[in-house]
Amino acid sequence: MRKNNFLFAASIIAMAYAPFVNAAKAIDLSQQSAAILQTFAAPAVTSLATKNLPQLKQTSTEVDQNQTAHIRVQEMFAGYPVWGADAVVHVPHATHMTTLKNLPVKNANTTMNGIIYQDLAADLASAPNYIFTSAQADKALQQAAQLFQEKSGNKHAMRDAHTELMIFVDQKNKAHWAFRVSATVQSSDEAMPIKPTYILDAVSFEVYDQWNEVLSLERVLGGGYGGNFNTGRLSYDGLKNNMPKLNMFRLNKACFLQNDTVTVRNAMKRNLVIQFSCQTPVVVHDNEYWDESIEAVAGAYSPANDALYVGKIVSEMYQNWYGAPVLVLKGKPMMLNMRVHALDEEGKVMENAYWDGKQMSFGDGGKEMYPLVSLGIAAHEISHGYTQQHSGLTGNDKSQPAGLNESFSDMAAQAAEYYASGKNNWQIGPEVFKVKGQALRYMDQPTKDCVPGAPKNECSIDNVKDYTAKLDAHYSCGVFNKAFYLLSTSKDWTTKKAFDVMVLANKAYWTKTSTFQQAACGVMSATKALHYDAAATKAALNGVGLDC
């Protein structure tokens, strides 16, 4: 909003308020009676001077089920809004016809909340006339654009720019004429547009505040197809016998495969958040925004939809079972970034999935496998992050700590399966194999992956006595995989109880270089700390040659 007809305002304000010297005074309305609102009532007789008195502008009135009217007001000064000076007046036994003008100010039951300011004029009287011109507003916009580009490195042009002159009261209660400048920037590096917003001094362009404001963002339910030729086509629409609906964001009639915990990105398109046009909900899919088979590839109906779903399940499992996010960043829950269509180091289609310390990447498969987006594989990769942020198990890929790291992620895969369905198949990744009945690993019988004629160092083991320094971690993990299976299926135990033990061991008892034997002692300590049956844990560990 620009006002160009106010060139003489500063002199008027100066004449009207010459005697005042105090800085702005903040008034907390929750500590005042409604009578104070009369201070801001429009005078019966107006003049050039009285037009510049602070006034309250009624912006809306809502009446709740208890017949209490909630009147929202905005403080204005000389026709311009005072930033942060908005309040709500609560009037019992009222109607939509209740206004500030007919407000029963003597009613003791009328309450208020919000901040308004008195004595603004002394700080504002000396403003130069040019701040009320469109030319100064344009300069403020140019300054905001320059500040944004310098800080973000984003050189894309601002669009839908809006510049508004207002009054800003700083932390020292000094009032300033200021511009609020906002615009939209659609970057090729960001799938969702951003809305940088600045409050700049109207004279010096000093930055009083700044933030990113996207007001039209909605949280909506959407869905589409998922699964592959092995599992069959899945429908994420919440209908009977189908998969649940998917939580996602909607902005400007586009739905993004992103929510508060999971973001799905396309690794082949500069890691952009995957989106689709969503004009209106689809009735036949229970009135959700439907993306059909977005990003369908290589025998999978939509790895992107699957990634959004499985990320949510793994995040929920850790949060609901252990009261904490699975991953954190700088003390806050970390967004689970799920990259589909990931390529290998040579830029070729990848028949693999991995965690790189910041995000999960899922390949599109190849001769043996469909795209590797399944619940078990996602839980496996995300849980590598959990281990990294807790015990930090590390070492070369043939070390026992590396084998333990792989095993914990396999345990998480089974835990997620149990969380989602209440049962286990004790296999890792069977859903993505093109040959039914085949899997990456078998936790109930780790040695089952050993094909006839294969060298010993390409077969999983299920007892610590068979470990050698030539064995890759994806094979040595069979030791703790089998122990986990034995513990989960023990009398009065469940997959969740067994995972409780392993999570606590990872968090509190394992170290970066824990051997299988040291890890077993950590598992026993965790069992006792949880007051679970230590005899069952001891028996499971003995079953793979470990004893603490």
Reference 271, options 346, 332, 350, 359; nearest CA is 359
The DSSP result for 228-292, as a single string, is ETTTEEEEBS--TTSBPPEEEEEETTEEESB-SSEEEEETTTTTEEPEEE-SS-BGGGTTBEE-T
Separation between Cα atoms, residue 486 and residue 375, nearest integer Å: 22
Contact 364, 306 (CB under 8 A): no
Separation between Cα atoms, residue 305 and residue 526, nearest integer Å: 37
Examine the residue annotation and report whether 381 is marked as an active-site residue of this protein: yes
Separation between Cα atoms, residue 448 and residue 251, nearest integer Å: 49
Strand 225-228 and strand 328-329: the pairing is unpaired
3-state secondary structure of 3: coil
- Phi, psi values for residue 201, rounded to 5°: -60, 135
182: β partners: 162, 197
Helix (H) or strand (E) segment spanning residue 459:
none
Contact 537, 523 (CB under 8 A): yes
The alpha carbon of residue 267 and the mean position of all alpha carbons in its chain are separated, in whole angstroms, by 19
Q: Which of 381, 406, 417, 431 is catalytic?
A: 381
The DSSP result for 317-369, as a single string, is HHHHHHSS-SSEETTEEPPEEEEEEEB-TTSSB-S-EEE-SS-EEEE---SSB
Reference 56, options 96, 6, 105; nearest CA is 105
Number of C-beta neighbours around residue 270 at 10 A = 11
Burial class, 173, CB count within 10 angstroms (exposed 0-12 / middle 13-18 / buried 19+)? middle
Contact 52, 77 (CB under 8 A): yes
Separation between Cα atoms, residue 183 and residue 102, nearest integer Å: 39
Burial annotation 214-247 (CB, 10 A radius, 16+ → b, else e): eeeeeebbbbbbbbbebbeebbbbbeeeebebbb
Residue 220's alpha-carbon distances to 247, 249, 287, 289, in angstroms, are 6, 6, 11, 8
Strands (E), 2-141: 25-28, 55-63, 69-77, 80-91, 111-118
Q: What are the catalytic residues? A: 381, 474
